[in-house]
Chain A
């Protein structure tokens, strides 16, 4: 039997409508609710010595082959003699002898029957019984497993989540073959009845955190959930912050790694983006690939990413502050060069930078919305027309174009799109502060950001953990990633005590070799 999703809305005060013993009455009610659209199928037939029955389903969201097999087996059953022990239990007889579908369940209320049909189940109604059988024959069109579009890697798995919640749970189960892997199903959204699954590993994820996420999910009272972003905004710890408090990923390996570190995942039907929480600031700079390639390369790349975040957030504002207020910071030759470039520019550095940054943001947004074929045209317009021509026309200096371009490239280095967006948003505020107060303004802005980030929490976990509060044991995978064999304990920052990830004897072959050499010498 498949796990039956519990609807947060079902537990409300609405009275449950019970099924009638009369087949015609039940069909009449269902017809009234579902309407007479051509995809609504109500197929009457006879089973078990001429007992009247009906199969109700929606053809567009059902699998034709499953339904045909189901119908054939039941019609075939109608011709066979019925054993005496099944005389009194015809529903049991159908379930035990006729229904070929694996996932079936019995339903007693009309609302649940309606919901099952809308989910893609085929419902078998039997005259004289106030219970129906719902067989899972769902099978609408869905996209296959493809390479994730937003988080590509050079080395690592190429599979990505799809819009189907079942495919997504299967992809996770394929990675973690543990009986402790738990999946709690919920249905959220009065009209969309979207299936939401909370995934965690019992014994690794903190129990309190799981209770809290379930509590927050149960409190959602909305008519629709169409993407995981809806859930994210409903249950995040703080709304007014530019920083993401959930990690979202299209990669099953990233989710599996998160679960193994003590995070929980939220899968929402209809989107390939799975949410991961609790999350810390540093998590947004870790890529799946960091763990598949050498630790030294991974550490170097991580430092590059962190630097890129700072560049993306601060470079234009530093340029504005230095060229406007603190020219003495620049070496004389560079200062003369910059002054010569800015000679004909009619705007102050702040306006010049704002113009260029806004132009870039418009170009980027256009590039995202445009069909891919036109994308190259946008690049040409951006690079040649707006870049080169603006410099030649004397509207902006060449140095500013370099600063804006480098900032843009740096923003793409950040693995998380959400964190990149946060840096973009903060950049504008910092530019304004730099243009008004110079380096002092930048420092004021940074202090506000630091205080803001220090106060952020994701499901009770401080955003800046393990840096502040300092958790020395968890620093092995922050700025640098130590070799796998050195990460013996799981990080404790997501709550609970750090559990052992690997035995103490599993060191690198090099170390094992050295140890054995020492052993030989001792002998």
Chain B
């Protein structure tokens, strides 16, 4: 385990794992519920994610740089740890497949309509597998680059869209009830729970305390991204138009026109977004690979990468019969699944770790 990543790189990995696929659906999910107050929901969801960040920091401190599964094995035993690893494997497999399918659908619907979906999905998975197969260090560096470029292009688009903003779209402010706001903050909470990927990066970080830092920075940056994206969409399109569009963010960005010559500049941001989607899939596949290696006591091998590539592509293609089905899954089931897997499960793990620690302390005192 010679590879090491910095806090900056770990933060970039987290932001890329949390943000890109979320920005496709979050404006729809949130604006549908709280209309012009949608920009506030991510801020509220950040408050709900703080306990998870506390749990992550606690586990990082306790692990002291050891792999997560090694820590769980020493506390709960081999069988329980393997069971947890299998649950996580399933989660990362399903999440990767859904992201691949979402991404492939978008490319197929917007750019290359005649190319078979299978070929697009296979290329996405191949690139992602190639990235994570190069190691965590490479993943960190690629994530950093992609994040930098994304921020640059997002900033450029915000500036270019300035003429399109209608500030009246935000009025009246805080018209929605607190209960509606709470409900609307659930989807961003679901997406933000993916900051738990940092726990699988722990052994590669330069210090164990960096895990908590990266988690909080990652969550903060992702929240800012969500707020900006929702605000831009609202400012350009308005709360009434957004729910009727499949990809409202890209529709809003596509309205840029400067003079006669510069139009469809949104392609530049879409290119950066594509890069972050590739990175996201690679992060999820890395986590899936880690869990599979632990569950089945395997070693990294090129054959395993090929198998992962084919398995994820197949699941992405054949789990959802229609493009609409994957959107429905992402809108409804995925948020709940993310909260259960990332929030509830890690909460239980944290409680379990506290109990086992207390038990071992008591035994030590008796002996």
Contacts and interface: CB of A to CB of B under 8 A. Distances in A.
B134 A455 contact: yes
Nearest to A468: B141
A464 B107 CA distance: 30
A444 interface: yes
B275 A446 contact: yes
Interface in A443-497: 443-444, 446-448, 450-452, 454-455, 462, 464, 467-470
A426 to B, nearest CB: 15
**Most B CB within 10 A of own CB, among A326, A331, A440, A441:** A440
A438 B112 contact: yes
B278 interface: yes
Given A444-B123, A455-B138, A468-B144, A439 B130 contact: no
Contacts of A469: 6, 9, 141
A451 B134 contact: yes
A325 B111 CA distance: 7
Interface stretch (B26-34, B156-164, B263-271): B263-271
Nearest to B272: A443
Contacts of A438: 111-112
Contacts of A452: 134
Main secondary structure of the interface of B (DSSP, over half): helix
Contacts of B123: 437, 440-441, 444
A438 to B, nearest CB: 5
A438 B107 CA distance: 10
B135 interface: yes
B263 A331 contact: yes
A66 to B, nearest CB: 54
Interface residues of A, number: 28
Contacts of A447: 127, 131, 142, 275, 278-279
A368 interface: no
**Most B CB within 10 A of own CB, among A326, A438, A439, A447:** A447
Interface in B83-125: 107, 111-112, 115, 120, 123-124
A446 B123 CA distance: 13
A450 B145 contact: yes
A328 interface: yes
B112 A325 contact: yes
Interface string B148-180: 000000000000000000000000000000000
A329 interface: yes
Nearest to A334: B261
B363 interface: no
Contacts of A454: 134, 137-138, 141-142, 145
**Most A CB within 10 A of own CB, among B131, B138, B141:** B141
A317 to B, nearest CB: 13
Interface residues of B, number: 32
A443 B278 contact: yes
A443 B138 contact: no
A465 to B, nearest CB: 10
A497 B45 CA distance: 44
B270 to A, nearest CB: 8
B112 A440 contact: yes
B275 A443 contact: yes
**Most A CB within 10 A of own CB, among B124, B138, B271:** B138
A329 B256 CA distance: 12
A444 B126 CA distance: 9
Nearest to B279: A447
Contact of B271 (A328, A443, A464, A468): A443
B274 interface: yes
A336 to B, nearest CB: 13
Nearest to A331: B261
Given A439-B267, A454-B134, A468 B120 contact: no
Interface in B242-287: 260-261, 263-264, 267, 270-271, 274-275, 278-279
B224 interface: no
Contacts of B6: 469
A440 B274 contact: yes
A423 B9 CA distance: 28
Contacts of A444: 123-124, 127, 278
B8 interface: yes
A70 B252 CA distance: 89
Nearest to A462: B141
A470 B271 CA distance: 23
Interface string A90-126: 0000000000000000000000000000000000000
Contacts of A329: 264, 267
A3 B87 CA distance: 67
Given A440-B120, A444-B127, A469-B6, A455 B145 contact: no
B231 to A, nearest CB: 26
A136 to B, nearest CB: 47
Contacts of A446: 275
A468 B145 contact: yes
Nearest to B259: A331
A302 B111 CA distance: 35
B130 A448 contact: yes
A140 B313 CA distance: 66
A464 B275 contact: no
B145 A448 contact: no
Nearest to A437: B112
Interface in B270-314: 270-271, 274-275, 278-279
A436 B275 CA distance: 18
A443 B145 CA distance: 14
Contacts of B263: 331
Given A451-B131, A451-B134, A468-B144, A440 B261 contact: no
A506 B124 CA distance: 53
Contacts of B124: 444
Given A329-B267, A448-B127, A468-B141, A437 B134 contact: no
B84 to A, nearest CB: 30
A219 to B, nearest CB: 21
B138 A451 contact: yes
Contacts of B107: 440
Contacts of A450: 142, 145
B273 to A, nearest CB: 9
A307 to B, nearest CB: 16
A437 B138 contact: no
Contacts of B9: 469
Contacts of A440: 107, 111-112, 120, 123, 274
A464 B148 CA distance: 15
Contacts of A333: 260
A275 B134 CA distance: 27
Contacts of B271: 439, 443
A326 to B, nearest CB: 7
B260 A464 contact: no
Contacts of A467: 145
Contacts of A462: 141
A464 B8 CA distance: 16
B127 A437 contact: no
B260 A326 contact: no
A443 B281 CA distance: 14
Given A331-B260, A467-B145, 13 more contacts: A325-B112, A437-B112, A438-B112, A439-B271, A440-B107, A443-B271, A444-B278, A447-B142, A447-B279, A451-B131, A451-B138, A454-B134, A468-B141
7 contacts: A325-B111, A326-B111, A438-B111, A446-B275, A447-B275, A455-B134, A469-B6
The 5 closest A-B pairs by CB, nearest first: A454-B141, A468-B141, A455-B134, A443-B274, A451-B131
Interface of A: 325-326, 328-329, 331, 333, 436-441, 443-444, 446-448, 450-452, 454-455, 462, 464, 467-470
